[in-house]
Amino acid sequence: MLTTALIAIPVAGALLIAIAPLSSYWLGSLAALISLVEIGVWITTAARFDFSSSSLQMDQRASWFSDLQVSWHVGQYRFSLWFVGMTVVAMAACTIYGWWAGRDRARAYFALMLLLTGAIVGVFVAQDLLLFYAFFEAMLIPLYVLIGVWGGSDRMRATITFVVYTVVGSLLMLAAIVVFGLQQGTFDMTRMGTSSSQWLFLGFVVAFAIKSPLFPLHGWLPVTYRESSAEVSAVLSGIVGKAGLYGLLRIAIPFFPQPVHDWRIVMLILGSVSLVYGSLLAFRAPDFRGVVMYSSLAQSGLIVLGLFASNSLGFDGAVLQIVNHALVSTALFLLAGMIERRTGTRGEFSLLGGMARGRPALATMIMTVGIISLAVPLSTTFAGEFLILAGVFQQGWLWAVIGGASMVLAAMYMLRAISAVLHQDVGPAVSENALDLRVGELAIVVPLVVCLVGLSAWPNLVSGRASAPTSSGWTQYAP
Amino acid sequence: MIVKPHIDWFALAPSLALLGAAGLLLMVAVFAPRRGRKATSAFVAFGGFVASGIWAAFLDDRSPNATALVHDAMWRDRWGALAQVILAGSGAVAVLLSYGERMRDEHVAEYYALLTSAGAGMAFFVQAGNLMTLFLGLEWFSIALYVLTAIDIDLVGSLEAGLKYLVIGAVGSATLLFGSALVYGITGELSFDRIAAAGHAHDAMLVVGLAMIIVGLGFKASAAPFHMWTPDAYQGAPTPVTAFMSSATKIAALVVTYRVLVTTFPHDQHLWRVAIAVIAIVSLAWGNIAALVQRNVKRILAYSSVSHAGFMLIAVAAATPLGARALLYYLIPYAAMSLGAFGVVAARERELQRPVTLQNLAGFGWERPFLGIAMWVFMLGMLGFPLTGGFIGKFYVFAAAYDHGYWWLIVAGVIATMISAYYYLGIVRAMYFRDAAELQLAPAGGSPPFDPLLLAGVGIALAVTVGSFFAVQPLIDVARSAASSLPL
């Protein structure tokens, strides 16, 4: 019931906001309240969760249509709990940011944000393949409008690029789902067996690689992330991208052991290329969002390395790193939005600089999140990357070397970005009127930072409480 | 001494109810005072469709076994009855959409009389049991539709559209008739199951006849390459008529195509399966690619209806029980989406007093929130997105194709859907992403006309589109029992 409630609360909230006769401000506060209630429900779920069991919990099953054995089946594994947790936290931060930023057409805006929350949570808890697909596609509906209506001046091109990429991917997946489900005689993921079809595997992988994104399918990234409003970019990079990684982890890898084996080298190469190429692009990016955006390409490459390491170390590291990056990326994009708002720029480094002086809160937040994101030792991202590298080392030392080198690259691009914004000479767009972070903004960012610091102190909370989606564990997919 | 056949009036009631309404409407045209004529005739037409639908539902309930009527001229079975229910529903919604249409007073009752008699012809058509009734039903509703297309003589392009439809439609009818003659010539039989039993399978003349019958029905289903009339007729006809044509004609044509193929030509199925699959692919390709370059919303929707004919023909090509269920299921949300989308276009058209293009849809979603959201849902449904029945329909069609081993039809359908995303979402983009002010549209003048019946019609369509996503099981159960009344 609690799992269904996690989907139903935001969806019902969206419908309530669509009809509630309130002013913009009160609609925003209602949305903020609903997103906080959602976090509360998730905490309740986590409190009742039995972390000693690796099986599906809190599940609920009802037949949708028996003709083709499709059902409403939702539930959570140990790792799903963390995916849902990061979603509700990051979505709450983004919704509240939207409220704080005073988005116009508030009724539609907040209804769509809540609808998006429900859809993403649905992706992470669906245990029926068709239901998973329905939620996966449902994410696109609010995102399309959120980018197209509240985006920047080039938003038309952004929506078209984004939609073309994702629709191509998800329809390949639909074809794969139809064939796979009919072959298995059921669409229930907990009852499906494995398949050795290369085509089905590739159908899923392409869809997930587009969403993640993964080189060379990241073409939608630049225009979409730059043209969206800051909080929508945060959702895209922090949460929606993770739906693609979740798909690899929950569907592509467990159900296709033989193709995973055959394609492992290719996937590891793509992961490595994304990692190095993304880092280099981030280093060259002329704006703050560019850095965060390409670093998320690099991070998803790293996570793919962990997933295709095909062992428990890599898997646990990947789950931890997914949670870390969701929080880091959300915080950084929101900070980028805050910088852009108070300088009236689009975050170009050439116009920024010297913002640390007289703005201690802003400087502290950017420094803290930035330092955590570059995987400094003792941080949670360091723990995640270390686990991933240790895992992928078992596939060959070369992958670990590439991964290790990328940590250096991460330090380079992140420190460059921090210094370009906070230090150096005062930029032409930074006036004395550009204030420090307000209490409202701090109330959005500080909880994310607290989560990150907490995880840094205790990364095992996630990595020790994630488990593979099969009873026999992740190691059965090892070579 | 001629032996009179027994006539099962109950089985003919759905058709007769509409015919009765049409007759009554002709009386209304003469006797009702001018002031109340519009309301009276809409009421009578609506009542006719509702009565027909209720009778068809009873018929569905009371006909667990298929039986032949009137010397095998007609069938009483659930296949036909379910199609009649959907047809009657489409007709009733079309009446709601029509009410606010600007029409000359002297034509208004005739308009509804033609609408109901077209409905009666379709209800007759889907029960057809031999080649005579097949042709009779086809001509019956076609002639009514030709006139309906051209009825608004004040509308630019309406007459031209009607003429085009008439000429091309006549070619289609003639092809069907010629094909029927060939089939009759080789087998000496008229009724569908006796043609099958006559056993002249693989005979060249029978195959030519089969091909011509497929072509003739393809014209009515507006499947490419027999769709040439569709964009012009859909664009030129009064929008409520377009709404009715795009949903009801397609339902009737596809349901009958399926019936004719599986009952009349079961021995040649390896031929017609491939032929239908090819027509499906051509429709998908042509409809979607041609829609990309259109600016007029009615033309976009016309080409989209060609591509939807392609999707439904995938289910026909995979003529398995699953394929039959997929076809019947698909028709329900499709009819609703199509009626609803044209209803929204009609609303915008009445507001602007000019044809609706992507340009002048700008800002519509914000000005009329309900219609905007409805249009959004219809477009997502046609694209096959979740939360609409269009998603489940597409899923079923693909499942049917895979079930029969036609995986390449899934590939074609998937590619077609990818292309269609551009123009379906383009309509959403036009409605929401630009402001009217940005485009400096001439104001329509005054507040938009309040039309509760149109809103009700769109609301019903919206409810069916979304409801069919959630209530899959009951709809599939109904479709399953309907499909079981056909062989295969």
Q: Inter-chain contact B414–A133, Cβ cutoff 8 Å?
A: no
pLDDT in tens, A122-148: 999 999 999 999 999 999 999 999 998
Nearest CB to A155; choose among B380, B402, B433: B433
Chain A: closest CA distance from residue B66 (Å): 23
Nearest CB to B418; choose among A65, A67, A167: A167
Asked if residue A452 belongs to a domain, the reply is yes
Specify the higher pLDDT residue, B4 or A74.
A74
Residues A16-36: what's their mean pLDDT? 91
Residue in chain B nearest A148 by alpha carbon:
B433
Residues A357-369: what's their mean pLDDT? 90
Residue A342's contacts (CB-CB under 8 Å, 6 or more residues apart) are A434, A435
pLDDT at B446 over 60: no
Specify the higher pLDDT residue, A194 or B253.
B253
Residues B99-126: what's their mean pLDDT? 89
Which residues on chain B are in Cβ contact (under 8 Å) with A168? 418
Asked if residue A24 belongs to a domain, the reply is no
pLDDT at B436 over 70: no
pLDDT in tens, B50-103: 999 999 999 998 888 888 888 888 888 999 999 999 999 999 999 999 998 887
Asked if residue A35 belongs to a domain, the reply is no
What is the per-residue pLDDT for B154? 80
Nearest CB to B421; choose among A68, A145, A167: A167
What is the per-residue pLDDT for B363? 83
What separation in angstroms does the CA of A326 have from each of A53, A299, A313, A347?
Answer: 25, 10, 20, 21
Side chain identity at A406, as an amino acid letter?
S
Contact A245, A208 (CB under 8 A): yes
Residues A373-384: what's their mean pLDDT? 88
pLDDT at A259 over 50: yes
> Over chain B, what is the mean pLDDT?
90
Nearest CB to A182; choose among B366, B403, B428: B403
pLDDT at B249 over 90: yes
Asked if residue A159 belongs to a domain, the reply is no
> If pLDDT is split at 50, 70 and 90, which confidence band does B362 have?
confident
Domain that holds residue A309: 263-479
What six digits make up the tokens of B330?
Answer: 């698909």
Asked if residue A371 belongs to a domain, the reply is yes
Residue in chain A nearest B372 by alpha carbon:
A108
What is the per-residue pLDDT for A375? 85
* Helical H segments across B63-153, by residue range: 78-98, 108-125, 131-149
Q: Inter-chain contact B422–A164, Cβ cutoff 8 Å?
A: yes
Count of domains for chain A: 1
Which residues on chain B are in Cβ contact (under 8 Å) with A175? 398, 410-411, 414
pLDDT in tens, A200-245: 999 999 999 999 889 888 888 888 888 889 999 999 999 999 999 9
Beta strands at A57-65 and A70-76: parallel, antiparallel or unpaired: antiparallel
What is the per-residue pLDDT for A31? 93
Residues B120-141: what's their mean pLDDT? 93
Distance CA A415, CA A283 (A): 10
Q: Inter-chain contact B402–A179, Cβ cutoff 8 Å?
A: yes
Q: What is the dihedral of CA B42, B46, B51, B56, to 10 degrees?
A: 140
Q: Inter-chain contact B414–A135, Cβ cutoff 8 Å?
A: no
Q: Inter-chain contact B472–A148, Cβ cutoff 8 Å?
A: no
Residues B418-432: what's their mean pLDDT? 90
> If pLDDT is split at 50, 70 and 90, which confidence band does A479 have?
very low
Touching check for A15 and chain B: CB below 8 Å? no
Give the length of chain B: 488
What is the per-residue pLDDT for A358? 84
Residue B362 gets which letter from DSSP? T
pLDDT at B469 over 80: yes
Residue A23's contacts (CB-CB under 8 Å, 6 or more residues apart) are none
What is the per-residue pLDDT for B159? 87
Nearest CB to A178; choose among B399, B421, B422: B399
What is the per-residue pLDDT for A478? 39
Chain A: closest CA distance from residue B461 (Å): 19
> Over chain A, what is the mean pLDDT?
89
Distance CA B343, CA B374 (A): 10
Contact A452, A369 (CB under 8 A): yes
Q: Inter-chain contact A134–B422, Cβ cutoff 8 Å?
A: no
Asked if residue A218 belongs to a domain, the reply is no
What six digits make up the tokens of B109?
Answer: 């009752």
pLDDT in tens, B200-240: 777 888 999 999 999 999 999 999 889 989 999 999 999 99
Which residues on chain A are in Cβ contact (under 8 Å) with B433? 148-149, 155-156, 159
pLDDT at B241 over 60: yes
Distance CA B420, CA B344 (A): 20
Distance CA A226, CA B269 (A): 55
Residue in chain B nearest A138 by alpha carbon:
B386
Distance CA A229, CA A37 (A): 25
Specify the higher pLDDT residue, A3 or B449.
A3
